[in-house]
Structure 1
Amino acid sequence: MYYLYSRFTIAVMLFLLSVSSYAQSFNIKDYGAVGDGKSISTTAIQKTIDACYKNGGGRVYVPAGIFITGTVNLKSNINLYLENGAVLQGSENLKDYQSYSLPQYGINYYGILYTVNAENVSITGQGTIDGNNKVFYDFEHAKKMDANSTKLTRQKENYRHVASGIGDGPVVPKDRPRQMVIFSQCKNVQLRDISLLNSPFWTLHFADCDLVNVNGIRLWSGLLVPNADGIDVTSCSNVVIANSDIRSGDDAIAIVGYDHHFEIPGFSGIRHVSENIIVTNCNLQSYSSGIRIGFLDQNTVRNVHVSHVNITNSTRGIGIFLRDEGSLKNISFSDMTIETHLRTGDWWGNGEPIHISAVRGKELVKLGTIKNVSFDNITCKGENGILIYGSDESVIQDIKFNNISFELLNSKLNDVAGGNIDMRGALAEKDQLFQHDIPGLFAHDVDGLAINNFKLVWDSTITQPYFTHGIEVNNFKDVKITNFNGRAAPSNKNAYRIYLSKGDNVTLDTKDGVHTDGVTGVSVIK
């Protein structure tokens, strides 16, 4: 009993010591910050942070008011607490931000908060960090697509034509600071309850961090603003993003392994893995991808689990992209609702609720693989089909769809955007943006595809002939399709419920409405 009591007493004492050291509060006004929405408070805020750090850590308190700032640096054992009504707003003057230089990009600027090599650091409270993007973009003009990039589309130079105004954007950027909030090479990072608004670039970036928790935040960067991702997780481990509302022009949540010397100075260029990541109970909107996993300059991403997430009003729902070395594996999505639309303007994505692709994006690298990805209990509405598109050098492996409901909608933009596949980021021009028939689900170059309990409903007002089969799979091995409740597009009399070509080893529960061409090893479940 004495031994247990001693251990308990020691634990309580250590807890009280940690609380007492963390409970110190340093008010930025006491160090000269002025919340009048005019005065530049960068130096005062940094002095407050430095004083807190030198005294062993604690709370840096931001009271109600609008505090204009350039770049400040958080440090270990500091909680930046923004009171209800407190706003840290980015200065409109680039010279107020810390600059850095990269050979391939020249002079750039950090955003409002740049934190590196810190532990036990957090941002909490009911206040707001505002990137002030209205001064860094021309909101009167949209960024146009060039004729060369659209020449392989169905519409050619008329692709995503805007009849008037700026359509869906994206608006045109000016010189601007980069990531609004960066945590680089940090450990035990928390963001809770705050609002992150109007970022001029990526909003919240975790780079080479371990133990990250984001909970209950509001992140609205502006749906017309390009490059204004929501949360970017690059080469991080043990990350939880939960209970948050994220609305962004570019990807709402992006998860990649990354070669950081391309974006942030001070990195060795060593590639790192992103792993053990959970996204749950979030509402997402994006004019690019609701959730993106992988891309260029990447290493392995593994053990990612997404559940109870709504993706609405987005250009692409889930996007999984293999363009480089490393692999994307052990990824699951469950209990989700996805709604996607075609857009005007130069956004990546073309209305696919689910997109998985593995094509070369860089020369002189050995492509990795996409492997072991599952989708369970997903309800989709979209204006383009589900896409799984591998390549000869990177066949997509072990993909499972279970309990999927998909309503393929007619779109008012079909004439200017429909009937195309968008895989930009691909190296070869032919693999980037090109016209293609649109089945309900299209899979190409796959090894191990299981589709079970898939309900496909076509909008009865669809008339375009490029909408075709219910399910189409080609260049494949080991495909199993069971309990498919769907048909071919009502606008295409020559299409099939299921169209299979150039493959081996198929298991079906029916032969009705199934066409096989160059397929061996077909078996039917009885």
Structure 2
Amino acid sequence: MKKYLLLLLLASSLYTQAADVNVKDYGATGDGTTLDSKAIQQAIDACTQKGGGKVIFPAGKYLSGTIVIKNNVTLLLQKDALILGSTNIEHYDNIDPFTDGLGIDVGWALLVAVDVQHIGIEGEGAIDGQGAKLKAQHILTDNRGESKIWGRRPFLLRIVRCTDVTVRGVSLYYAAAWTSHYFQSKQILIENVKIVSHGVAHNDGMDIDGCQQVQIRDCDVVSGDDALCFKTTSSTMACKNITVTRLKLKSNQAAIKMGTESMAPFEEINISHCDIYDTRNGGIKLLTVDGAHLRNITISDITMKNVRTPMLLRLGSRLNVFRKGKDTQQPTGTFDNVVIRNVKAEAAADAQLKPPSGILITGVPGHYISNVTLENIEISLAGGGTAENARHAVPEAIDQYPEVKTFGPLIPAWGIWARHVKGLKLKNIKLTLASDDLRPAFIAEDGQDIELTGWTLPAAAGAASIVRLENVQGAKVDDFTVTGRAATFVKIEGKDSKGVKTGKVKYVTPVAKAL
């Protein structure tokens, strides 16, 4: 019996090795000028027909248009192997079209897998989409304007309705649109991947779109658009059971973002131990605006340096549909049970909001953000707000695209501003200012059951209040340490305000600055 099992294992090993193929054996040149798409596809097709294995790319530059990954195939990019995207837009196919959050038809790709399983891209090699060069060629023949034509350009990698996907070790460079898009797929591992993708618009790093059982770890992302972005462009499958850890993120937009397209739920997502730096929009942006239920999200142990507007939490009613003919418009969603803890952020002085603010939390009338806890949060801000700024009215923007600038040009609170919230808990919050700010550190408008405890922060002598509560029913404000004094600790306004309890506040005399 043991001998029989040994023979089976040996036969299986030999069969697996026999299924591995080398793209050069199928005619790929790897010279960087010859279009190798057909040869690469033949190698992949041969590999899957034999039962699967590795499609090996030795060192070289493999110029290519769309490549379709098949069942049981792993692309192995050996050291100094480079898949180079063609700059001819006609070399790309769109196997699964859809519409993005801006209303643009998208879906073309360099590497794509649709409805397959047990696939991967691994190795020490790289994939370069040559995005800037492709754009330069594209606009020579299509002059309709960037906002209308960018979606025709290919993503670098698309994984569509696949199961058991591994992307490990490789580097992804300079996509012509989104860098990597994973749609309605399960059992995904993204590990030790480096992404450098900027130079053209919409260079998202990783887009996780309605995927489940996902692990992302030890990756380094430098992106021209959102670095790590969770989406649900279809209502039929949630983003669920996802763990992200030890990422380094730089972005010209948001570092961690959820919900630009948001039809199906976002739930059971845990993100931890990430370093965010030099990010020109939000550090953390959690959004649901197209009917999704966003719930049971935990984000912890995050550092941010030189980040514009560290956090935006938004429940809105844009209610877009992204897969025309396959989905229908949904009612407003929900935003519930989110915990963000252990965050240290250095907010950029040059921000979308002028003067800058730290955290924005807002639902819409009749639809509350509920049960959010922010705990152990430290944010340093520039300051500079005036008494007039403290009374600025923020637009509701109920059906607008969910961005920080949507609520600009400024926010009446310099630290945390919250509107249409229930069960908001803000614990152990430390805020610092580089210069005086006459706005309140915290404002709540239309809130219920709000708890502020364990705050440490400065107050400017000319400020009307440190905390302002407008039409708030049920609030606890306790255990504050304040350097300096405002005219009032807590100012209560609005005919619907009631049940506000204030506790201990310790005032500390500011240390005189040396001349």
**TM-score category, normalised to shorter length:** 0.7 to 0.9
Aligned partner of 2:446 in structure 1 is 475
For residues 401 and 106 of structure 1, what CA distance do their matches in structure 2 show?
Answer: 35
Aligned CA distance change for structure 1 residues 176 and 372 (closer, same or farther; 3 Å): same
Shift of the 15–284 alpha-carbon distance from structure 1 to 2, 3 Å rule, reads farther
1:432 paired residue number: 406
Q: 1:328 aligns with which of 276, 290, 294?
A: 294
Aligned position for 1:371:
336
Say whether residues 1:357 and 2:294 are aligned partners. no
CA distance in 2, matches of 1:175, 1:16: 49
Whole-angstrom CA distance in 1 between matches of 2:87 and 2:105: 17
CA distance in 2, matches of 1:82, 1:253: 24
Name the residue aligned to 1:126. Answer: 124
Q: Which residue of 2 aligns with 1:80?
A: 75
Task: Name the aligned partner's letter for residue 458 of structure 1.
Answer: L
Q: How does 1:380-419 map to 2 (within 5 A)?
A: 380-383=345-348, 384=356, 385-409=358-382
Other-structure match for 1:507 = 476
Contact persistence 2:413–2:441 (CA under 8 A)? no
Q: Which has the higher contact order (CA 8 A, sep 6+)?
A: 1
Q: Would you say 1:484 and 2:455 are equivalent positions?
A: yes
Instruction: Provide the C-alpha distance between the structure 1 equivalents of 2:105 and 2:260, rounded to a whole number of angstroms.
Output: 24
Instruction: Give me the whole-angstrom Cα distance separating, in 2, the residues matched to 1:62 and 1:405.
Output: 47
* Structure 1, gaps ≥5 residues long: 142-169, 260-269, 342-350, 412-418
What secondary structure sits across from 1:367 in the alignment?
A: coil
One-letter amino acid of the counterpart of residue 500, structure 2: V
d(CA) in 2 for partners of 1:273 and 1:429? 20
- Give the structure 1 partner of residue 206 of structure 2: 231
Question: 1:400 is aligned with what amino acid?
Answer: T
Q: Please give the secondary structure, in 2, of the residue aligned with 1:294.
A: strand
**One-letter code aligned to 1:52:** C
| Post-superposition CA distance 1:253-307 (Å, at most 9, x none) | 1112222xxxxxxxxxx62211011110000011111011113352111011100
Q: Could you say if the C-alpha distance between residues 100 and 205 of structure 1 is closer, same or farther in structure 2, counting changes exceeding 3 Å?
A: closer
Where does 1:73-222 land on structure 2 (aligned, <5 Å)? 73-99=68-94, 110-137=108-135, 176-222=152-198
Contact kept, 8 Å, 2:104 with 2:151, in 1: the verdict is: no
Q: Give aligned-pair identity as a percent.
A: 27
Structure 2 letter corresponding to 1:213: L
With over 3 angstroms needed to count, the CA separation of the structure-2 counterparts of 1:188 and 1:101, relative to structure 1, is closer
Unaligned runs of 5+ in 2: 140-145, 321-328, 349-355, 385-391, 481-487, 505-515
2:431 is equivalent to residue 456 of structure 1: yes
Given that 2:153 and 2:176 are in contact with CA atoms closer than 8 Å, whether structure 1 keeps it comes out as: yes
1:39 Cα deviation (Å)? 0.5
* 1:106–1:193 distance in 2 versus 1, CA, 3 Å: closer
* Whole-angstrom distance in 2 between the partners of 1:362 and 1:313: 31
Give 1:155's aligned residue: none
1:497 Cα shift? 1.9
- 1:359 maps to a residue whose letter is G
Aligned to 1:159: none
TM-score for both structures, normalised by structure 2: 0.81
Task: Name which of structure 1's ranges 361-370 and 28-37 shifts more when overlaid on structure 2.
Answer: 361-370
Question: What is the CA–CA distance in structure 2 between the aligned matches of 1:420 and 1:199, rounded to whole Å?
Answer: 40
Check the 8 A contact 1:171/1:225 in 2, yes or no: no
TM-score of the superposed pair, with normalisation by structure 1: 0.80
SS in 2 for 1:206: strand
- State how far apart, in whole Å, the 2-side matches of 1:522 and 1:236 are: 42
Selected match of 2:258 from 280, 293, 299: 293
SS in 1 for 2:44: helix
Question: Judging changes above 3 Å, is the alpha-carbon distance between structure 1 residues 439 and 103 closer, same or farther for their aligned structure 2 residues?
Answer: closer
Task: Map 1:234-253; keep pairs closer than 5 Å.
Answer: 234-253=209-228
Are 1:303 and 2:268 counterparts?
Answer: yes
Aligned length, in residue pairs:
458
What is the match of residue 447 of structure 1? 422
Alignment RMSD: 3.2
Cα drift, residue 439 of structure 1? 2.0
**Cα displacement (A) at 1:444:** 0.7
Deviation at 1:427, TM superposition (A): 3.2
Contact persistence 1:137–1:172 (CA under 8 A): no
CA gap of 1:228–1:505, structure 2 versus 1, over 3 A, is same
Asked if the contact 1:203/1:231 (under 8 Å) is kept, the reply is: yes
Q: Is 2:466 the partner of 1:497? A: yes
Structure 1 residues 318 and 48, CA gap change in structure 2 (3 angstroms): same
* Partner SS, residue 39 of structure 2: helix
* CA–CA distance in structure 2, aligned partners of residues 219 and 420 of structure 1: 40
Could you tell me how far apart the structure 1 residues matched to 2:149 and 2:382 are? 33
Instruction: Rate the CA distance shift 1:247–1:171 in 2: closer, same or farther, 3 A.
Output: farther
